[in-house]
Amino acid sequence: MSDSSSSVSRPELQFGNAWEYAPAPESLGALTLRERYDHFINGKWKAPEEGTYFSTANPANEDTLADVAEGSHKDVDRAVKAARKAYDKTWGPMPARERGKFLFRLARIIQERARELAVLESLDGGKPIKESRDIDLPLVAAHFFYHAGWADKLNYAFPNRNPRPVGVCGQIIPWNFPLLMAAWKLAPALACGNTVVLKPAETTSLTALHLMRLCEEADLPPGVVNVVTGHGETGAALVKHPGIDKIAFTGSTEVGKQIAREVAGSSKRLTLELGGKAAHILMDDAAIDQAVEGVIRGIFFNQGHVCCAGSRLFVQESIVDDVMTRLTNRLQTLRVGNPLDKNTDVGAINSREQLERIRGHVACGCEEGATLIQSSTVSLPEKGYWFAPSIFTDVTGEQTIAREEIFGPVLSVMTFRTPKEALERANNTPYGLSAGVWTQKGSKIFAMAQGLKGGVLWANTYNQFDPASPFGGYQESGFGREGGRHGLAAYCHLDF
């Protein structure tokens, strides 16, 4: 691998090559790609006003998959107007139970077409097929089913508070869970009677566009959901547009802050789901094998492209040697490679830019004195964007790798002596999205849960998601919740 450090340690794998698997590639099946994708506005595929397209690639081999329309402020304007018209004329006035039927229908079509959407998600974004197939797609369908059920029951979700829709929502999403983030945003907005203009991330627009093909099949009325593709400027045009009533954004803290400044003083509502630097706290009484497995999955899942990734591990000092041995052994058995192979655990990094960011952080960790451990068994493909799963030891709380979000497959291990120290160190971050606690004692779980700053806390498990469970952060991780009744409230006006 090409990262710079000469001090990287690559321990030998125990049990030789017993972990080698024959390739088991998923077939492309029913997936058909267009060469070129236009915007989806007012129920029609619309060429960009300025005629510009950009290409989207497969990060596993750098092959171009398709060309995608670059959205200008004119395209955004057309989409917002279409969404307003649908809000005023069709979707707003429609009885809520009818809106619910459309969402149920869309949920069922997504289930039927889950395989091709999963393959496309892995092709365009680089995530392993077993994740897109077994985690992302089932959750996408579940979000539509869950919110379809709420559509005509909002008065029960918010008794005596007269829930009304907010209006036209501008939704901007990232590349780490492209279709799932679209579902988290679209399903509650539509269930509450709003209409939407969605802006996918520039490296992963294809599944959102395919979802629009499914919206066509579901006969969703024109203008209810519009997709305008493009880069950051397209997103900025959406944020600025005066016809927008609410912005929902998931992405970097830096862009989130820009959006908050832009929206300040306007009547636009805003929810932000930003970065994280989640901590695991691993106590000496924990079931260590389960904890190690949870920690490994919590950071190497989706190449660490997860805002709630457990990127810091605090281990109680008395068990650190044992934990490090087991972590290192497990690191060696992770299978890195072709995202479409059903055996792959860790896929491709989403883009060259993200790969450069991760390399920069890791080089910085080595310079600041941490020790890098990587697998001796991983050989990274020649083409595409790859980074070997990595663990840092000899980490101090002041080092950049312990403070800044890396958004890649890199775990920093530190130690603590007392639960109080663990809490202080885990909370010493400007973020506050999530955390994990590993202990056999319920009382310790509750004590930690009280003390940890984070919107989401997992105990003896990690990265579990459910549409009924609110997700979101504190501090620089943003505000607002997605999922559950809290998530619905973000898309309603409510009386007090």
Point out the residues that are catalytic.
273, 307
Instruction: Provide, rounded to whole angstroms, the least separation between the CB of residue 201 and ligand NAD.
Output: 4
Strand partners, 482: 471
Which position's Cβ is nearest ligand NAD?
235
Strand partners, 197: 170, 226
Residue choice 61, 111, 252, 400 for contact with ligand NAD (CB under 6 A)? 252
Pairwise CA distance, residues 355 & 6, whole Å: 19
Which does residue 124 touch among Mn ion, ligand NAD, none (CB within 5 to 8 A, set by kind)? Mn ion
Task: For residue 265, count CB atoms less than 10 angstroms from its CB and return exposed for 0-12, middle for 13-18, buried for 19 or more.
Answer: exposed
In 241-351, which residue ranges form alpha helices assigned H by DSSP?
253-263, 288-300, 320-332
Three-state SS at 142 = helix
Instruction: Provide, rounded to whole angstroms, the least separation between the CB of residue 324 and ligand NAD.
Output: 27
Pairwise CA distance, residues 347 & 359, whole Å: 16
In 49-153, which residue ranges form alpha helices assigned H by DSSP?
73-86, 96-112, 114-125, 129-131, 137-150
Q: Which stretch binds ligand NAD (CB under 6 A): 41-49, 254-262, 285-293, 455-463?
A: 254-262
**What one-letter code names the amino acid at 353?**
E
C-beta of 199 vs 330, nearer to ligand NAD: 199
Long-range CB pairs of 321-330, under 8 A, 24+ apart, other chains included: 322/288, 323/282, 323/288, 323/291, 323/292, 323/413, 324/393, 324/413, 326/288, 326/289, 326/292, 327/292, 327/295, 327/296, 327/391, 327/411, 327/413, 328/11, 328/373, 328/391, 329/14, 330/292, 330/293, 330/296
Residue choice 56, 171, 332, 439 for contact with Mn ion (CB under 5 A)? 56
Residue choice 341, 345, 405, 482 for contact with ligand NAD (CB under 6 A)? 405
260-279 footprint of ligand NAD as x/- string (CB under 6 A): -------------xxx----
Residues 420-479, interacting with ligand NAD (CB under 6 A): none
C-beta of 121 vs 245, nearer to Mn ion: 121
Q: Which helix (H) or strand (E) holds 269?
A: strand 269-273
Which does residue 201 touch among ligand NAD, Mn ion, none (CB within 5 to 8 A, set by kind)? ligand NAD
Task: Please check whether residue 195 is in contact with residue 169, taking contact to mean a CB–CB distance below 8 angstroms.
Answer: yes
C-beta of 201 vs 281, nearer to Mn ion: 201
**What one-letter code names the amino acid at 226?**
N
Q: Which stretch binds Mn ion (CB under 5 A): 52-60, 147-155, 474-482, 488-496?
A: 52-60
Pairwise CA distance, residues 186 & 195, whole Å: 9
Pairwise CA distance, residues 80 & 19, whole Å: 53
Q: DSSP letter at 13?
A: P
Which does residue 258 touch among Mn ion, ligand NAD, none (CB within 5 to 8 A, set by kind)? ligand NAD
Strand partners, 415: 315
Residue choice 357, 403, 486, 493 for contact with ligand NAD (CB under 6 A)? 357
Q: Which stretch binds ligand NAD (CB under 6 A): 24-32, 244-252, 313-321, 374-382?
A: 244-252
Residue linked to tokens 């919590």: 298
- Regarding beta strands 164-165 and 492-493, do their DSSP bridges make them parallel or antiparallel, or are they unpaired? antiparallel
Residue choice 137, 307, 366, 422 for contact with ligand NAD (CB under 6 A)? 307
Residue linked to tokens 């980490």: 395
Does residue 229 interact with Mn ion by CB under 5 A?
no
Does residue 345 interact with Mn ion by CB under 5 A?
no
Task: Please check whether residue 363 is in contact with residue 5, taking contact to mean a CB–CB distance below 8 angstroms.
Answer: yes
Does residue 121 interact with Mn ion by CB under 5 A?
no
Does residue 205 interact with Mn ion by CB under 5 A?
no
Which does residue 357 touch among Mn ion, ligand NAD, none (CB within 5 to 8 A, set by kind)? ligand NAD
Does residue 250 interact with ligand NAD by CB under 6 A?
yes
Which does residue 56 touch among ligand NAD, Mn ion, none (CB within 5 to 8 A, set by kind)? Mn ion
What's the number of CA atoms in the CB half-sphere (13 Å) around residue 200?
A: 34
Residue linked to tokens 């497995």: 293
Three-state SS at 280 = strand
Does residue 100 interact with ligand NAD by CB under 6 A?
no
Q: How far is CA 272 from the centre of its chain?
A: 13
Which does residue 180 touch among Mn ion, ligand NAD, none (CB within 5 to 8 A, set by kind)? none
Q: Which stretch binds ligand NAD (CB under 6 A): 117-125, 247-255, 290-298, 310-318?
A: 247-255
Instruction: Provide, rounded to whole angstroms, the least separation between the CB of residue 124 and Mn ion.
Output: 4
Residue choice 174, 188, 337, 409 for contact with ligand NAD (CB under 6 A)? 174
Residue choice 165, 167, 235, 384 for contact with ligand NAD (CB under 6 A)? 235
Does residue 124 interact with Mn ion by CB under 5 A?
yes
Site residues (vs Mn ion, CB under 5 A): 56, 124, 203
Site residues (vs ligand NAD, CB under 6 A): 172-176, 199, 201-202, 231-232, 235-236, 239, 250-252, 255, 258-259, 273-275, 307, 357, 405, 407
